[in-house]
Every structure is written in structure tokens, then in C-alpha cells.
Structure 1
């Protein structure tokens, strides 16, 4: 028995014990595990003063230890009413947190924090609680304040780094992980998380070093091998990438995310059988995994298995990485499974502009089933697609019309059970632009004395596959010697291309007038040919029935299929494919040869003399 406990015992024995002394002795007994003695002290204190706040608090704490949380809340709550001390507020908040009453717990922790504003541990704990409540920005501020109060607080630095990583604030997260790493250099998980942030910041050499350090500290973390494999894959180090994936799978054979990554690499190499095998193995480990189903759908559609591909592709709605937003409509989703006669259906864009143009071909088919069609697409293509047959109203996302059913445009191929041989309206479906608008573009372009070719060399830089599908403008330089009037259709010229474009006046650039896709359609109508990488302009030209040559990377988007130079989606399209990953030069050479062939045929038609009509035969003289 320590000195404090001996004094309390002496006070009780002398009959001079106060409630405060009894509570002090009770907490001493509690800390030493003597629960019965603590309860006795508490009862005696409350007998002397039934409203004594320390005694009420002690009784609440004893109830909590006895796994009576409701009673604990009641007694500690009474103590708070008597005297809202930080100690009582923290006890009450702790009990509420254990009951998963997180919002109530937060309120009491916050009151305690107002009494103890310099308590770094309390700032850290509240930050963690706010994180659980989904109040991420507030949580980050609390964790940062904990670290400010105590710059050597490893837990706060680690927690703050993890939260900032989740928020995508990678540079700030790295700063926190740097602090944590200085305080504990032996954490493999910390090096792994910092590497993730560094990779997101394009600091790839540092990321690779951190992954390697993490593996050296703990080679049993399959996630680290997987992430390092992805980094190797990004830079084309295929042998190292596969080795990393295989090490991860040796540690966790059913690690479906690694199997998915391996399948994607195999797909990019067009090792299709192996990619299918990896995905089926992944599905065996996680049968309803949305990412696996989406990858499988991509592979099925790429190989022409539309029947299974469309169905599996619906998994895209469960993928945050795809960026689709479930609109939460109360009206039913239409998938071709119910009559449309007399119904109003909202058809809404769910992916990119090119996807919306591609799948807008189904709008007349929906209208033909007796539906009134409302079409909701992004502003740049509203006017363009609003002219498609069957559209009764076209709107933007901010409008709230009344409708009975809805269907995303990307789900329409599934609704109509589209097969490779039943793709509708491949001959074109967007109405020709108004003659007045085309005339305006003809006037801008001037006399039509040469073959006119539109050029698009890059897509949206934010697209996840942009590094594969886009090219620098200078890559097309071999085409510029052809006797052609080239016309830029490229919106959003990148810095690396701006100087080249300015130095080549033989490329007409009137793109400042391309305010939406209706204007682009009118300009395309003034051209003889469009040459484009895989962008929305390629879809637009195909939907207009305009001649379009599309330049496709070695690993193509699913819609361009494999090993063919035509597209079943657009009859006027010709495909030029990379035969080696990343090799655009040979594709451009092939395009140049084809373009020279077009020009030669055109010149032959222009110089070929018109056939001279032969003299009419003189009728023979009538004989008697």
C-alpha cells in the first residue's frame, strides 16, 4: 500500500474521511485492480454527498469497467453537470466512443479540448475520430495541430500522412511521412506509403528507392512488391514488373489486385490467353470484384465477345477510379427489359464525349420503341446530338425534367443485346451541319485548290491512357511534305506543340472558332479527310460519315478490336495500328504512303480526259 492509500485508510479509521479523500482512495484502488475496495469508497463518498462530482465520476468509471456503458454514461453525465471538468468530459467521450456514438463522443472531446488546448494527444485522438466520421478536412486540421504542438509525435505524423494520402494531398502527406520516418526509420509500411505519394507526384526515382527500402525492411509485404511492379511497368521494365507481381503472388496467391495488374500488363502485350487466365484466377479469389469484372469486360469486348462483355462492363458503376457518378434516380433503370410505349425516358451521358457520340446511335432505336426521349449530355455536344432523329428534348445535367425511366448511354448496347454483326447505324447517324454554318467555314478556309486534311494528334491529357494514344505534333512532320492543305482540329494545344504549330504555317489553325462540336462538324464537312488519334473527333467524323483515318496504339481501346483496319462502328473509318508498342513513326510512314496514294488517284481523276462522244450513225437510205 502506498503513502496516499495509507493516509486514506487512516482517515477512514479516524472517522474524519471526506468525500474527496474517499474518491482519491477509490481511484487508487481502481488503478491497482482492487475493484471491490474502489466501489466501497465510492458508496461511502456518495453517502456523505450524493452530488459529489468526483464520486459520480468514479461510479461511472466503475460501471464502465463492469461493462455497463449506459449506466456509465448516466453517472459520468451527472458529474459533468455538476462540474464540467476536462477529466469528466474525456471519460464520458471515451464511453460514448466505445458505444459507437461517435458524434456524441466528438462533442464531449471538443469541450475537453477547449479546456486543454495544448494537449497534442487529444488533438490527435479527435482527428482520428473525425476521420472515422468522414469529416476529412477537419480531421486533417486536428492532426496537423497535434504535430505542430509536438513535432516529435510519431503517431500524429503517421496518421496525418495517411489521411492526406487518402485525400490526394500527396505533397503534404510526404512532409508528414518525412517527419515520421525521421522518428522511426524501421517502418516498412511507412516507406511503402511514402512511395505511393512520391509516385503520385511523379518523383519516381525516390518512390522506387522507398519501395526497395520497404522490401529490405520487410520482404513479406505483398502490397509493396505489387506497387513496385506497377512502377516498373510504367517505365516499360516488363521483366522486373512480372518478377514483382510473381513475388507478391508467392506471398499471397489469392491477391486478386495483383492478378488484375498482371492481367493488364499481359493485355497491353496482347498476350490474351494469359490475360484471360489471370483474370479468371482473380475472379476465383474475389468473384464479385468490380475491377476484375471491368477488366474482363474490356478483354471480352476487345476480342468481339459482346454478349458477355456488355454485361460485365456494368461493373464500371462500382469503380471509383472510373469516375462515374450514380445519379441516384428514383425512376427505374431501363436495360431493354420493359416496354417503352408511351413512356418518357432520360438517356444520359455517363462517360467521355467520344463515348456519348459513339452510343448516341441508339437514340433513334429507343424512340422507335414508342418512347419520348430526353437526351442529357455535356454542353459541347448538346447541339450536335440534339439533332439526332428521335430526340424530343436535349438538356444539361442541371435540368430536372420529369421522366419515367432512365438509361446511361453506355448501357444501351447491353439493352439492345448488340453483337459484333448487329452494330446499328455504322453508316452514320448525325445529321449534316446546316449549310450556312458550312459556308462560314468554307469562307474561312478560302479557295479549295488542294486536298484538305484535318489533323488531331492528342486527346485529353487527363485521360489515363493519354500517354499511349497521343503523340507530339512533330511526330506527324513526315506528312507535311505532302501536297495537302492541312487543317488543325486540335483543341487545347500543349506547350510542346505550340511552337511547332506556330512555325508551320502550312497547317491552317482556326480552332479559336471551334466553340462546340457543332462547329467542328461543320469544319469537318469542308474537308476531304480527317487523320486523328483515338479521340472524340474520330468518333465525330465517323458519326458524320466523313472519311476518317484513326491512329491506334499497340494496345487499342476495346472498341477498335484487334487485327483489322476497319471499324464495325464506323463504315467511313480506316484504322492504322502500331505493330510495336510506342512506335508511332512506322504508323505515320504508313499513313503517308496511303495519303500519297489518295493524292495520286485524285490527280489521275483530274487530268483524265473526258470521253469524246462518237458520231451518231447515219441511218441507211430507205430502199424502194
Structure 2
């Protein structure tokens, strides 16, 4: 006999048969599986007081046990109306949750928690419910509160870690996983998840150690081998990376995610046939996988197969990792399939600044089709691109006028069926900057008595390929003793470069006055050459038809193609490529040799000009 039964029996023998005592006995019978006895106790309690909240609560519990959830909600709801006790609220919330009425359940659980604020299990339960409802930030607060109330609460720590990982709050997730690991050191999945967070925090040694622990605990988790392979790849440990991917594929031969990762490594190594074969194997496993299609498009475009590459590249819209946002326009998307005569079309930037500059070349073609063109781009390039032929109006995203059709700039090559030999306006398409603005920069630079070279050595640090395409300024040191006036075009100088730049008084740095790309264009117009890594300034120089040397990593972006030192996108551009992955030294040596020749020719031309008769 349990405590409830003993108390009810004692009350009965004492002659004090109360509804509360009967209900306590009834719940004890219900928990013991004695349903008939529980129903009898309930009937007796209701006979004594038909509105007694404990009796209503017990009747609701019996209905729920009898799989009559609607009746259970009605009776427990009446109990709550009589006395909003935490016990009733929790029962009502539980029934609602089982019915799938999660929002209603959440509200009643929250009311219960206000009555039992120190109940860690209740905070944990509400947190999980909020997670299911998609209220993730609020859910995280509840799970963290549960862990605060009970620092050894394994479930709250585990759930909190998983949710914070999902939210990208990696440092907080690690704190939760640390608690979980102390309470259970044998979970392979835990070490794997913590390693993912540590890697995102650039704590790579700790991440690697966690991946190794996970594999030691359970070598059959393909995802762990895959993630460790990515970590090895990041640090150039190619043999280890391939070994990890192959172990993952041995466990899950049709894992398109692992196959995609292996294909990317093969692409970076320029093992193109193997990369193609791996991607086709991935497509066989998941024919409509957006990531696979996007990687395949990259390979196709890189190898000049524009016909298949442009359509496949549209898969980028289904990739959250790319960061594109579907604007949700009600007006139709134009991909070249319908006439534009008399229509207003919005051409909007969908990728980086360099991409917008590159694909803005299509604007005159759209306008020539009879459309009124509204160009929507980011503020730093708005004035610059607003001057392109055919732009009726150039706006920012915050003030888009009415239009009939729209097309992302990156989709225009597809809309026009661009092939290798039909790339438009490679000779330049951005109008020359105003003479007054150019003169202002000429005055700032002073006498043009030396060959002038603009320098850009790093791109956007947030770009996923920045570690391959950017370099430290110090890497360009071999160029700096050439007889050249170097001019920095580098915005956002990084800490590692700032001190070196300050030491080099031979590099003119007026970048504080480069307020937008129109100013950069005017400054470029004062230079004899631009030397840039693969970033937006290289596109700007090419679009201005200014001489530009672009320094390209071993694994180039698709637009620079393969094994050529020119670009079909920009006639004034020359490419200098890495011959070994990560080796900028050879590139800089080649640039120096070519630069000295260019300077010598320029100097000779200047000397000859001085000898001409007046």
C-alpha cells in the first residue's frame, strides 16, 4: 500500500471520508493499474462534491487513460478553472501535447512553471516543446535555465548543446557538451558534435582530438570520419583526408555528402576526371541534390562547358550555405524565355560585389530587348553601375520601385545562353569616371614620373575561399623594390598587414578617401596597372578596360577557367596562376619579372617623349 492509499484508508477509518482523500486513493489505484477501484473512488468523490477540483482532475486522468483525450481536456480544464494548481496545469498540458496541440500545451506548461519556478525538468520540457514549435532562441533560454537549476542535468545539457549547435552559437554549445561529457564519457556522438562546434570556433586541435575520441568509441559513425576528413583537408593533410572519406564511404557507400566532399578535394587538386566521376556517383545516389548539382556546375563552368554549367548553377538558390536569399517576389522570374518589349525588369544583385560588376555587362543587352531596366545593387557600387548604358534607374534594396519581371544578375548568362565565344563586352562596359574626379586623384598622387601600380592583396575575409585567394602583404615584398610608385587599393587592411604597410612609405595609401567604387574607379584611371588577387577590384579594373594582373590560386574560381593567362571576360586582364597549391612565391617572382619589363618599356617611352621636338 502506497502513501496515498494509506492516507485515504486512515481517513476512511477515522470517519472523515473527504473528496480529497478519495481522489488521493483514486490516483493511487490508477497508478497501480487498478482502474475499477480508481473509477469507484472518483464517483464517490463527485457524489460528495461534483465540483471538487481533485475529482474533476481524477476524472480527466481516467478519460485520458481510456483514450478519450477530448473528454480529458474538458474535465481537467474544469479543474484548472476551479483551482489553477501546477499539478492540474501539467496534466492538461500533457494531454494537449499528446493531441499535437503544442502551442496550447506550451502555454499551460508555462503557467505551471510560474508556480514551480525551481523545477528543472519542467524548464527542460518546455524548452523541448518550444524547439518543436520553432521558437529556438526561447527554447535555448529554457534549456539553459534547466541546467542552471540542476548543473548535472544530462538531458538539458545534451538538448541545449544540440539546439545551440543548430543555432550556430558554438561557444555556448561547447559549454553544454562539456557538462554532458562529464556525465557520460562514452558517447561517440557527443564527441562528434562537440568537435563540430570546436572546429567552427577555430579550435582545431581540440576538434581533432574529439573526432579521434569519437572514432575510438564507435568507429562505425560515417559522419565522424567525414568531418575529420574535412579537418585534415583544411590543413593540407591530403592523404589523411582521402583516407577518412574512404572510411566513411566504406560505411555508407551512397552518402552523397561524403562523395561531394571527396569531389571538392579532387577539384582543389585539379584531378578533374576523378572529380567528375565522383560527382556523377553522388548524383546517382541523390539525383536532385542541390549541393551536388552546384559542384558539378562549378566543374562544368571551370572547364568551359557553359551550356550545361549555367542551368546547373541555378541550384545555388537551394543552398543555405551559399547565403542567397529568395526575395519572394510576386512578379515572374525572367530567364530569357519571354519577350521584354515594353516591360520593366528588375535586375538584382544576388552574390558578391565582384559578381555584380562581372554580370552587369548584360544590362545593355536587356535594355536592347526593349525593356526598361531597374538595377538593384549594394550601395558601394550603386553610383558606379548606375552609369552603365541601358540603366534607367539604379537603386538599393530598401527602395525597389514597381516592375513586371525580375532576374538575378547571376542568372543573366543563362538567360542569354552565353557560350565561351559569346561573352559580351569583354572590352569593357563601365563608363570612364568624370574628368574632375580623375583630376582630383591625379592631384593627390602628384607628378606621374614613375610607373604607377595599384595593389590589392586580400579579399573579403568572410568569403569561404578567402584562405586560398588572399595573401599577406609581406608576400608581395619582392615587388616593392621595383622602380614603381605603388598605390594601395586595399580596403579593410588586416591586423597582420597594418604594421608592414605603415613601414613601407613607398606604398601610397589614400584608401580612407575611397568612399565607394566610383572613387576607386577614378583612382584606377590614374594608374598604369592594377595587380590584384581574385576580388572585386580585379573585376572593376577589367570592366573599366584598365590593365590588370589577377593573381589566381591553384584551384581557381570557375570564371578564370584553366591553363590560360588571359580571360574571355576581360580583355585587359592577364592571369598569373599558382602552379602548386598555396605557393604564392612563384607567382610573385613571375609578376616581378613581367613588371620589370613593363616598367622598362614605360620608362623608354617616357624618355623618347622627352626627346621629341617641340
TM-score range relative to shorter protein:
over 0.9
Q: Output the CA distance in 2 between the equivalents of 1:345 and 1:272.
A: 38
Counting only pairs closer than 5 Å after superposition, residues 60-459 of structure 1 correspond to structure 2 as 60-459=60-459
| Stretches of structure 1 lacking an aligned partner (at least 5 in a row) | 614-624
Deviations 1:538-583 (A, max 9, x none): 0000000011110000000010011111111111111000010001
Deviates more, 1:166-175 or 1:300-309: 166-175
1:82 shift after superposition: 1.1
Partner of 1:585: 585
1:349 shift after superposition: 0.6
Deviations 1:96-121 (A, max 9, x none): 11222221111101110011011010
CA contact (8 A) 2:376 2:400 kept: no
Q: Do structure 1's residue 518 and structure 2's residue 499 form an aligned pair?
A: no
Q: Do structure 1's residue 467 and structure 2's residue 470 form an aligned pair?
A: no
Partner of 2:58: 58
Q: Output the CA distance in 2 between the equivalents of 1:3 and 1:283.
A: 64
Count of paired positions = 613
Q: Output the CA distance in 2 between the equivalents of 1:114 and 1:603.
A: 82
1:604 shift after superposition: 4.0
1:11 shift after superposition: 7.9
Counting only pairs closer than 5 Å after superposition, residues 587-606 of structure 1 correspond to structure 2 as 587-606=587-606
Q: Output the CA distance in 1 between the equivalents of 2:184 and 2:194.
A: 13
1:606 shift after superposition: 4.3
1:202 shift after superposition: 1.2
Q: Output the CA distance in 2 between the equivalents of 1:82 and 1:11.
A: 24
Question: What SS class does the counterpart of residue 555 from structure 1 fall into?
Answer: coil
Deviates more, 1:149-158 or 1:517-526: 149-158
Q: Output the CA distance in 2 between the equivalents of 1:71 and 1:369.
A: 67
Question: What SS class does the counterpart of residue 481 from structure 1 fall into?
Answer: coil
Partner of 2:557: 557
1:508 shift after superposition: 1.2
Deviations 1:301-355 (A, max 9, x none): 1111112111111111111111111111111111112221111111111110000
Q: Output the CA distance in 2 between the equivalents of 1:464 and 1:2.
A: 64
1:12 shift after superposition: 7.9
Question: What SS class does the counterpart of residue 455 from structure 2 fall into?
Answer: strand
1:44 shift after superposition: 3.5
Q: Output the CA distance in 1 between the equivalents of 2:246 and 2:14.
A: 76
Are the structure 2 counterparts of residues 311 and 533 from structure 1 closer, same or farther at C-alpha, using a change threshold of 3 Å?
A: same
Are the structure 2 counterparts of residues 170 and 2 from structure 1 closer, same or farther at C-alpha, using a change threshold of 3 Å?
A: closer
1:366 shift after superposition: 0.9
Question: What SS class does the counterpart of residue 487 from structure 2 fall into?
Answer: strand
Deviations 1:180-209 (A, max 9, x none): 111111111111111111111111111111
Deviates more, 1:282-291 or 1:114-123: 282-291
Deviates more, 1:317-326 or 1:592-601: 592-601
CA contact (8 A) 2:453 2:528 kept: yes
1:14 shift after superposition: 11
1:227 shift after superposition: 0.8
| Stretches of structure 2 lacking an aligned partner (at least 5 in a row) | none
Q: Output the CA distance in 2 between the equivalents of 1:561 and 1:27.
A: 76
Deviates more, 1:169-178 or 1:378-387: 169-178
Partner of 2:505: 505
1:30 shift after superposition: 1.5
1:74 shift after superposition: 1.3
1:610 shift after superposition: 11
Q: Output the CA distance in 2 between the equivalents of 1:79 and 1:379.
A: 61
CA contact (8 A) 2:23 2:54 kept: yes
Deviations 1:469-519 (A, max 9, x none): 001111111111211111111111111111211111111111111100000
Are the structure 2 counterparts of residues 594 and 56 from structure 1 closer, same or farther at C-alpha, using a change threshold of 3 Å?
A: same
Deviations 1:247-287 (A, max 9, x none): 11111112111111111111000111111111111122222
In the TM superposition, structure 1's runs of 4+ consecutive aligned residues that sit over 3 Å from their partners are: 1-18, 603-613
1:212 shift after superposition: 0.6
Q: Output the CA distance in 1 between the equivalents of 2:4 and 2:69.
A: 29
Are the structure 2 counterparts of residues 461 and 14 from structure 1 closer, same or farther at C-alpha, using a change threshold of 3 Å?
A: closer
Deviations 1:124-156 (A, max 9, x none): 111111122222222122111111111111111
Partner of 2:23: 23
What RMSD, in angstroms, separates the aligned Cα atoms of the two structures? 2.0
1:369 shift after superposition: 1.1
Q: Output the CA distance in 2 between the equivalents of 1:296 and 1:124.
A: 44
Q: Output the CA distance in 1 between the equivalents of 2:612 and 2:546.
A: 34
Question: What SS class does the counterpart of residue 398 from structure 1 fall into?
Answer: helix
1:42 shift after superposition: 2.5
Are the structure 2 counterparts of residues 600 and 345 from structure 1 closer, same or farther at C-alpha, using a change threshold of 3 Å?
A: same
1:603 shift after superposition: 3.8
Are the structure 2 counterparts of residues 350 and 219 from structure 1 closer, same or farther at C-alpha, using a change threshold of 3 Å?
A: same
Are the structure 2 counterparts of residues 400 and 601 from structure 1 closer, same or farther at C-alpha, using a change threshold of 3 Å?
A: closer
Q: Output the CA distance in 1 between the equivalents of 2:456 and 2:3.
A: 86
Partner of 2:484: 484
Are the structure 2 counterparts of residues 15 and 459 from structure 1 closer, same or farther at C-alpha, using a change threshold of 3 Å?
A: same
Are the structure 2 counterparts of residues 75 and 33 from structure 1 closer, same or farther at C-alpha, using a change threshold of 3 Å?
A: same
- Give the number of the structure whose alpha-carbon radius of gyration is greater: 1
Partner of 1:33: 33
CA contact (8 A) 2:451 2:485 kept: yes
CA contact (8 A) 2:455 2:489 kept: yes
Deviations 1:193-247 (A, max 9, x none): 1111111111111111111111111111111111111111111111111111111
Partner of 1:47: 47
CA contact (8 A) 2:2 2:28 kept: no
